[in-house]
Amino acid sequence: MSGAEREVVIRLRGIRNQFGTQVVHDGLDLDVYRGEVLGVVGGSGTGKSVLLRTIVGLQEPAAGEIEVLGVDARTHDEDKRQALRRRWGVMFQDGALFSSLTVRENVEVPLRDVAAGGAETARLDDETRHALADLKIALSGLPPFAGDKYPSELSGGMRKRAGLARALALDPDIVFLDEPTAGLDPIGAAEFDRLIRRLSRALGLTVFMVTHDLDSLHACCDRIAVLAEKKVLVTGTMAEMLEVDHPWVHEYFHGPRARAALASAAE
């Protein structure tokens, strides 16, 4: 199916992000399609995480349009913004968990927040809410005992999975992942890549993944978006990236690490 025929669930046009006199993005355009895993890459300072934070409303752009799931994400209607935010989940680096809460309690936070807003989950009793949290914990690949643990009692990989479980709490349409395999050993990173791919297919998730991990790009991404020169320079499959004639793109996708990742993916 061509891009013209696919449903666009994230549409960015003319995005400009700047901090003081430093312009990070200028005239940035990007479409993300339903059901795909999009890997966002770029050199240091290209604003990969800034772009993620812009889409989810944590960074207000100086200019541009952001449409998510057919809704203007920059609307001043707070009810619409809150309703939209319930349709995505975000996993920040290292999970960004509340240290004073157990894993289960962390996963329950979005459910409690929605209940406080008077939505459907307001009718959930404690037992049902706990059961839903345990289901998300299981989906993230954590063992049952992890629900009673505090973040400080978990390994880095387990914290990331707990962060993913929380991102899945409200059965989102879209999941945003910020460097999900950073800091993991090769085995743990490969397991996380397989988990993301499996969940995307099983749940029909659209995944927006900021990463620098070439193995992840090979293992679970349908398309790649390259940030350079303050915009999305190019998008395409891994095979298409190998044909791009741009110095940074060529070095990134043809360098020693890229060759090693390609060899590993071919095994």
Residue pLDDT, tens place only, 124-133: 778 889 999 9
For residue 1, the model assigns a pLDDT of: 47
263 pLDDT above the threshold of 70: no
Task: Identify the band that residue 116 occupies on the pLDDT scale cut at 50, 70 and 90.
Answer: very low
What mean pLDDT value characterizes the chain? 90
In a domain, 259, yes or no: yes
- Domains identified in the chain, total number: 1
264 pLDDT above the threshold of 70: no
In a domain, 163, yes or no: no
CATH number for the domain that contains residue 262: 3.40.50.300
22 pLDDT above the threshold of 60: yes
In a domain, 88, yes or no: no
Distance in angstroms (rounded) separating the CA atoms of residues 206 and 33: 7
Q: What is the pLDDT of residues 179-233, one digit of tens each?
A: 999 989 989 999 999 999 999 999 999 999 999 899 999 999 999 999 999 999 9
In a domain, 39, yes or no: yes
In a domain, 93, yes or no: no
Closest CA relative to residue 26, chosen from 225, 246, 232, 209: 232
For residue 216, the model assigns a pLDDT of: 92
Closest CA relative to residue 136, chosen from 105, 157, 174, 107: 107
Q: What is the extent of the structural domain holding 22?
A: 1-77+215-267
Q: Which residues pair with 8 in a beta bridge?
A: 33
Q: Where are the beta strands (DSSP E) in the chain?
A: 8-19, 22-33, 37-42, 63-68, 71-72, 88-91, 174-178, 206-210, 223-228, 231-236
16 pLDDT above the threshold of 90: yes
In a domain, 191, yes or no: no
Half-sphere exposure of 61 (CA within 13 A, CB side): 27
In a domain, 265, yes or no: yes
State what percent of residues in the chain have pLDDT above 90. Answer: 75
- Angle, helices 186-203/156-167, rounded to nearest 10 degrees: 10
In a domain, 41, yes or no: yes
| Comparison of pLDDT for 255 and 92, the residue scoring more | 92
State what percent of residues in the chain have pLDDT above 70. Answer: 89
